[in-house]
């Protein structure tokens, strides 16, 4: 199930292509079917799933052996935060069955670099993983170690912005350029209803009350 993320395929024998293809992921997921589906999706999109752990203890134990570039952790896994605490320098994304505020903040306070819902579309899921792991179309980037204290205002904004889909980021960028709904619909070839839906999602995810406030936060904190 390869999906179009806007990122060129690895290949051609280049060093960057080989590096991209070698990105190693460990999945900590206690639901067998979910683990199988996520593994299939990742491997179909140029990630190497180095291992799957069904428990917190197993994930912690195997981390040093597997040396992953990224760990996906089911936030509902009992003791999920212990995995990040045991390996704070490893980039980790929390995944969950929904993207409600409680799960989002649980991941945030545990030090995870991001959160994405299992309910996300496949293209959005893979694009989000690419954005975290790669510093460009094909360059692997290790993010800074996990946080040991609450984020400041900028960190909060960046964390909330991590929920935006690629299309929502396009809409937000155009809002910072002063585009109105009609111009958004024209430039993105969307219906007015779809534009309104995207704007409502952006406001909800950034937790702001107006498009003007969303644009101001985006400019202030470099969210687009």
Domain spans of the chain, in order of start = 15-133, 153-221
Q: Is the pLDDT of residue 217 over 50?
A: yes
Q: Band the pLDDT of 124: cuts 50, 70, 90.
A: confident
Find the helix or strand (DSSP H, E) in which 212 lies: helix 211-221
User: Could you confirm whether domain 15-133 is CATH 3.40.50.920?
Assistant: no
* pLDDT top residue among 191 and 113: 191
Give, in order, the Cα–Cα distances in Å from 171 to each of 25, 150, 181.
31, 29, 10
Tell me how far apart the alpha carbons of residues 83 and 61 are, in angstroms, rounded to a whole number. Answer: 9
Q: Give the model's pLDDT for residue 139.
A: 29
* pLDDT top residue among 126 and 56: 56
Q: List the beta strands (DSSP E) in 55-91.
A: 70-74
Q: Give the model's pLDDT for residue 209.
A: 84
Choosing among 3.30.200.20, 3.30.530.20, 1.10.10.10, 1.20.272.10, the CATH entry for 153-221 is 1.10.10.10
Residues 189-193 have a mean pLDDT of 90
Q: Tell me, what DSSP letter sits at residue 210?
A: S
Q: Give the model's pLDDT for residue 19.
A: 41
Q: Tell me, what DSSP letter sits at residue 126?
A: H
Q: What is the pTM of this model?
A: 0.56
Q: Is the pLDDT of residue 20 over 50?
A: no
């Amino acid at each position: 199930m390869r999906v179009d993320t806007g990122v060129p395929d690895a290949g051609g024998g280049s060093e960057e292509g080989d590096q991209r293809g070698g990105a190693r992921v460990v999945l900590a997921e206690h639901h067998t079917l979910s683990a199988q589906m996520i593994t299939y999706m990742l491997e179909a999109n140029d990630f190497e799933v180095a291992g799957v752990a069904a428990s917190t203890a197993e994930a912690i134990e195997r981390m040093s052996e597997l040396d992953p570039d990224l760990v996906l952790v089911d936030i509902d896994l009992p003791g999920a935060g212990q995995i990040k605490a045991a390996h704070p320098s490893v980039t980790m994304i929390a995944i969950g069955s929904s993207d409600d505020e409680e799960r989002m903040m649980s991941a945030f306070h545990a030090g995870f670099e991001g959160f994405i819902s299992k309910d996300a579309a496949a293209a959005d899921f893979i694009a989000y993983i690419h954005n975290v792991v790669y510093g460009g179309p094909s360059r692997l980037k290790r993010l800074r170690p996990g946080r040991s204290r609450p984020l400041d205002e900028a960190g909060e904004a960046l964390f909330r912005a991590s929920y935006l889909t690629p299309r929502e980021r396009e809409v937000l960028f155009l809002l910072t350029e002063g585009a109105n709904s009609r111009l958004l619909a024209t430039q993105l070839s969307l219906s007015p209803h779809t534009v309104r839906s995207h704007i409502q999602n952006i406001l909800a995810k950034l937790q702001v009350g107006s498009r003007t406030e969303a644009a101001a936060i985006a400019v202030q904190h470099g969210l687009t």
